[in-house]
Amino acid sequence: MIYFDNAATTMVRSEVLKSMLPFFCKKYGNASSLHSKGIEAKKALESAREKAARILKCAREEIIFCSSATEANNLAIKGLAFEAKKNGQNHLVVSAIEHHCVLNTAEWLKENGFKVTYVPVDKYGVVDLKALEKAIDRKTFLVSVMYANNEIGTIEPIKEIAKICQEKGVAMHSDAVQAFGKIPLNTKKISMLSLSSHKIYGPKGVGLLMKRNDVKIEPLLHGGGHEFGLRSGTENVAGIVGFVKAMELVLKEMPKESKRQARMRDRIIGKALDIPETLLNGHPKQRLPNNANFSFRFVEGESIVMKLSEHGIFASTGSACSSPKLEPSHVLLAIGRKPSEAHGSLRVTLGRYNNEKEVEIFCEVLPEVINELRRMSPFWK
């Protein structure tokens, strides 16, 4: 089995699992309880929060744990939107290649009286800074741009965007789900940042929003007032402990790992581009060390994924045929790929458990699979 779909999710690492186990049957207390069982849980929760704050170089009360990055992104955008509305601000700026949880949040706000500007990207998926600057007006309450794209791996010029936002006095949010643990993050000027646990060898069902103290937002979940009143619901202590453990571990090995993965990525890119009629999607250099994304003309992505799966190799695609609404990937269209090219897309995302031997097997199998499917295709001679 060769798992090359690490941008979708990752395996929980054993150290993380071990750190979580005591919180299921032994330290199972509710962190809000007054007795010592509760205090035990509360201590673990707060120590995790402090570690996360140290990692993100922020104050402990700026860390809000929640259920996923989808929730963190919703909380950041809707939470600020509801607050901004009170001051007559109703305009949101996002990039055209955000994750669906940001784009669909934006769409929902639009249906509810807000205005949204989608900032275009260039052919590599880099956000157009001039267009972004121009989009900001007096009514803009937030600019949200992902740190790195989940499909094509392009790293966005976050420092520059944060600078523009600061100059204009607008809050900035960044979905850093794919970037964290792969590249060093520069979060100094960012108002809000979303992270997910299960992309960095932590458990599913946990995420966090880092939110600066001076940014006021409305909660989406009302209840017992957990997480500084911004996210009610009994804290998932086991998950949070595991998440923060995963953060620490992934950062510790990042310098070595990202180099190792980048080498494997480059080998894959080189070999794949030897296949005729193949395009690389995303930036040639400014991309995540673990991401490769291609368009193979005249074949369809779901077929590629399933053929690879027959060989025990697991990857993913942005093909229309594989999407529930039969629409091609909005990211691939935004970088100028034709729907027919988006159709033959393949995303390969590496992780800490992959090795060079697997890469070599993949490089051998891939051309076979593409050829086999092209032989079936009416457009291939």
Q: Running DSSP on this structure, what letter comes out for residue 156?
A: P
| Closest separation in Å from C-beta 312 to ligand FES | 24
The angle at the Cα of 372, spanning 369 to 377, to the nearest 5 degrees, equals 120
Sole binder of other proteins in the list 184, 270, 312, 339 (CB under 8 A): 339
> Rg of the chain's alpha carbons, rounded to an integer?
21
What is the rounded CA–CA span in Å between residue 72 and residue 192?
Answer: 9
Residue 319 touches other proteins, criterion: CB under 8 A? yes
The β-bridge relationship of strands 207-211 and 291-296 is unpaired
Residue 300 touches other proteins, criterion: CB under 8 A? yes
Residue 302 touches other proteins, criterion: CB under 8 A? yes
Q: Which does 17 bind (CB under 5 to 8 A by kind): ligand FES, other proteins, none?
A: none
Chain residue whose CB lies nearest ligand FES = 321
Q: Which two tokens stand for residue 159?
A: 């420092």
Asked if 339 and 188 count as a contact pair (C-beta separation under 8 A), the reply is no
Nearer of residues 197 and 295 to other proteins, judged by Cβ: 295
> Among all chains, which residue has been given the structure tokens 């992902």?
146
Q: Classify residue 69 by burial, with Cβ atoms within 10 Å: 0-12, 13-18, 19+.
A: buried
**Which runs of E-coded beta strand occur in the chain?**
2-3, 63-66, 91-95, 115-119, 140-144, 171-175, 192-196, 207-211, 278-280, 291-296, 313-314, 345-349
Q: Classify residue 144 by burial, with Cβ atoms within 10 Å: 0-12, 13-18, 19+.
A: buried
Sole binder of other proteins in the list 82, 108, 124, 228 (CB under 8 A): 124
Residue 35 touches other proteins, criterion: CB under 8 A? no
DSSP 268-303: HHHHHHTSSSEEE-S-SSSB-TTEEEEEETTS-HHH
Q: Running DSSP on this structure, what letter comes out for residue 229?
A: G
Q: Which does 173 bind (CB under 5 to 8 A by kind): other proteins, ligand FES, none?
A: none
Nearer of residues 133 and 360 to other proteins, judged by Cβ: 133
| Closest separation in Å from C-beta 295 to other proteins | 12
Determine which one of 58, 66, 101, 321 is catalytic: 321
What is the rounded CA–CA span in Å between residue 316 and residue 150?
Answer: 11
Sole binder of other proteins in the list 32, 67, 104, 377 (CB under 8 A): 377
Q: Which does 333 bind (CB under 5 to 8 A by kind): ligand FES, other proteins, none?
A: other proteins
Q: Which residues contact 211 (CB under 8 A, 6 or more apart)?
A: 62, 64, 76, 191, 192, 217, 230
| Closest separation in Å from C-beta 345 to ligand FES | 13
What is the rounded CA–CA span in Å between residue 367 and residue 365?
Answer: 6
Sole binder of other proteins in the list 333, 361, 363, 365 (CB under 8 A): 333
Nearer of residues 317 and 349 to ligand FES, judged by Cβ: 317
Q: Which stretch binds other proteins (CB under 8 A): 66-74, 213-221, 223-231, 330-338?
A: 330-338
The 87-106 contact track toward other proteins, x by CB under 8 A, reads ---------x----------
Residue 376 touches ligand FES, criterion: CB under 6 A? no
Q: Which two tokens stand for residue 359?
A: 């890469």
Q: Which two tokens stand for residue 43?
A: 């201590």
Nearer of residues 60 and 100 to other proteins, judged by Cβ: 100
| Closest separation in Å from C-beta 272 to ligand FES | 23
Q: Which stretch binds other proteins (CB under 8 A): 62-70, 147-155, 171-179, 316-324?
A: 316-324
Annotation marks residue 321 as catalytic: yes
Binders of ligand FES among residues 307 to 326 (CB under 6 A) are 321, 326
Residues with catalytic roles: 321
Binding site for ligand FES (CB under 6 A): 321, 326
